[in-house]
Amino acid sequence: MRYLYSLILGLALGAGSVFLYSLYPPVGLVLSILASTLGIWAVGRLWGKRSYRFIAVAAWAFVILRAGFPGINEEYLLQGDSMGISLINFGFIAVVIAILTPL
């Protein structure tokens, strides 16, 4: 069950990041990266294993990368501008740091 909960939390963090990053251009990006980092860290802290963090990061990465591809009607949730690219790059760096932090 904990694996399922960490998967669902990772999906929710990814969706929240996608919807929040363009709210207010500099502030939304920082909030979405911080929320993702703290959420991934909290998953491992809550259940005491790093493997739960890996599952949450995999789900987060799936949502973030899928949002960058066109949908059915050729719409993008993550745009190819500096904000979208920054979310992908700095977000991945932040979640790797969240994985590597001690429990």
Reduce the secondary structure of the chain to three states and give it as a string.
Answer: CHHHHHHHHHHHHHHHHHHHCCCCHHHHHHHHHHHHHHHHHHHHHHHCCHHHHHHHHHHHHHHHHHHCCCCCCCCCCCCCCHHHHHHHHHHHHHHHHHHHCCC
- For 10, the enclosing helix (H) or strand (E) is helix 2-20
- Tens of each residue's pLDDT in the chain, 103 residues: 999 999 999 999 999 999 999 888 889 999 999 999 999 999 999 998 899 999 999 999 999 999 988 888 888 888 888 899 999 999 999 999 999 998 7
pTM of the model as a whole = 0.92
